[in-house]
């Protein structure tokens, strides 16, 4: 069967281009694997059949006739095991890529998301004045560590892998934060990932669905 990826039919403008099915779309584009987007709205995401596929009613979810999965990191790792466009074939290379994928999700993203949520969900709330410096300091520490790992290489392992795919999607959330400019190698790294043709195709596919289903 054609690979199916569950995605939202429409989301508010602030989330467009950042919904996590983008990660799976990008991985599939890098691997050259055709897929079909199965669009869900806010009602159908809670139906029993979809909850059987994605227990939390989120996106993405994935199926290919052999496996059904959810969680973007797990799906990208599954695809990386199938395609050398996303990871080396040897066990050591696979392990390194898995390490970077999990580092993006577990070490960097939680702090980045917490900072982003201040402006998206809590703008104008008094407590954010005291919380912001703490979050910004933590994000800067993680970015400093990441910049040290990257060094002057174009990608974390010297060549593009699923680890870079995942890390780029995390750094994109900081695109409007002035602090990212303090780490020029990471800002260039992010832009390098966004310049990949496979990323452009994945992003356009997600945005096209939102344009087609925008509320009247």
pLDDT at residue 122 in the model? 83
Segments in the chain below pLDDT 50? none
pLDDT at 67: 97
Which pLDDT score is estimated for 191?
Answer: 98
> Phi and psi dihedrals of 28, rounded to 5?
-65, -40
Q: How far apart are CA 70 and CA 24, in angstroms?
A: 10
End-to-end CA distance of the chain: 34
Q: What is the pLDDT of residue 211?
A: 97
Separation between Cα atoms, residue 172 and residue 181, nearest integer Å? 13
Residue 115, sorted as left (phi over 0), alpha (psi -120 to 50) or beta, turns out to be alpha
Report the pLDDT value the prediction gives residue 190, as an integer from 0 to 100: 98
- Is residue 164 within 8 A of residue 155, CB to CB? The reply is yes
pTM of structure? 0.95
For residues 117, 119, 120, 125, the Cα torsion angle rounded to the nearest 10 degrees is 90
pLDDT in tens, 173-194: 998 899 999 999 999 999 999 9
∠ CA 134-71-140, nearest 5°, is 20
Cβ burial of 133 (10 Å; 0-12, 13-18, 19+) is exposed
Q: How far apart are CA 22 and CA 203, in angstroms?
A: 6
């Amino acid at each position: 069967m054609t690979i199916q990826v569950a995605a939202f039919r429409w989301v508010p403008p602030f989330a467009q281009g950042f919904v996590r099915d983008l990660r799976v779309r990008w991985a599939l584009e890098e691997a050259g694997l055709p897929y079909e987007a199965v669009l869900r709205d806010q009602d159908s995401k809670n139906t029993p059949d979809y909850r059987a596929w994605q227990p939390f009613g989120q996106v993405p979810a994935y199926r290919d006739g052999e496996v059904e999965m959810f969680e973007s990191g797990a799906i990208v790792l599954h695809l990386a095991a199938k395609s050398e466009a996303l990871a080396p074939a040897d066990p050591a290379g696979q392990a390194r890529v898995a390490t970077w994928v999990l580092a993006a999700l577990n070490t960097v993203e939680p702090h980045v998301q917490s900072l982003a949520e201040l402006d998206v969900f809590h703008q104008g709330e008094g407590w954010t004045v005291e919380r912001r410096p703490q979050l910004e300091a933590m994000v800067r520490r993680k970015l400093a560590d990441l910049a040290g790992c990257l060094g002057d290489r174009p990608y974390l392992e010297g060549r593009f892998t699923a680890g870079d795919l995942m890390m780029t999607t995390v750094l994109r959330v900081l695109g409007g934060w002035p602090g990212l400019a303090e780490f020029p190698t990471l800002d260039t790294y992010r832009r390098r990932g966004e310049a990949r043709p496979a990323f452009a195709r994945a992003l356009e596919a997600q945005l096209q669905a939102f344009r087609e289903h925008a509320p009247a």
